[in-house]
Amino acid sequence: MPELPEVESVKVNLERYILDQTIEKVEVHHRGLRWPIPHNFEEMLEGQKVKMLVRRAKYLLLYFEKADFILLWHLGMSGRVQVITPKALTPRQTHDHVEIAFYSGLKLRFRDPRRFGAMLLVPLKELSRFSLLSSLGVEPFDNSFSGPFLLELFKNRSRPLKAALLDQKIIAGLGNIYVCEALHCAKLSPLRLAKTINHLEAEILVKAIQAVLRKAIAAGGSTLRDHRQPDGEKGTFQDVFKVYGREGERCLRCDHVEIKRILQSNRSTFYCERCQI
């Protein structure tokens, strides 16, 4: 599933193409995504001018110049947004479920083979209490996200660090890849109970999370299988993974212990037993 860096890179890439562009026509070829696409979807979007794109956790929010609603977009497990320029028109593929055409000649296609993605219209007046957004925790780049703040969040949590970091109600946008990488960067074991970290470890972990995310965003995210930028470019952060997907390989920091893979809550966790305590 695309995590914060992948969604952020999609947002930044899309902004280059669709900001201040007006939608001419919308075609829905399959409404059966994770939640059904509304039947008035086409009518509501046609004629709207894109004003702003915002990322919240793993969601994209498209704001329009004169609309009293936003388009809430989630890429799901395998979803991909494609930019189709007038000079590079290609036939629609089987899993291209939605096509948005702009007066400029540009098109967006949403391809989602597994159909776990979502495209929903949310009234602005309901946005603050909309269920998918209202329960989300702090953003990793929010000014309030600090060592003391994290320590307070974790002080009564008898869960492994990794599980706590993956909880979207605590910190929004983190996923399996970047939690593994951030914990290695912070030299903290994913098996440690969240409530056992001290002030210094909390400060180090916050900085590690932010550093890993910044590097991943700059690299366009990680392309392991499905992720691409809207313009077709792959992410490259997978080329510098320190632990994720490196089971049995040498730790790049201590060059002694092999990277170990375990299961936590049915998810693969990669870490170094020597470096991470």
Q: What is the pLDDT of residue 256?
A: 77
Answer yes or no: 3 catalytic.
yes
pLDDT greater than 80 at residue 183: yes
| Domain ranges, ordered by start, for the chain | 4-124, 147-271
Residue with tokens 């890439």, as numbered in its chain: 13
pLDDT band at 179 (very low <50, low <70, confident <90, very high): very high
* β-strands 96-102, 267-271 pairing: unpaired
Of these residues, 31, 34, 157, 267, which one is catalytic?
A: 267
Confidence of residue 90 (pLDDT cuts 50, 70, 90): confident
Topology classification of domain 147-271: Helicase, Ruva Protein; domain 3 (1.10.8)
Non-local CB neighbours of 269 within 8 Å, separated by 6+ positions: 162, 176, 180, 190, 261, 262, 263
From 3, 6, 8, 181, the catalytic residue = 3
CATH topology of domain 4-124: N-terminal domain of MutM-like DNA repair proteins (3.20.190)
pLDDT digits (tens, 9 = 90+) for 223-267: 988 889 999 999 999 999 999 999 999 999 998 789 999 999 999
- Looking at the chain, how many residues does it have? 277
Is 58 part of the annotated catalytic residue set?
A: yes
Of 11, 55, 58, 80, the catalytic one is 58
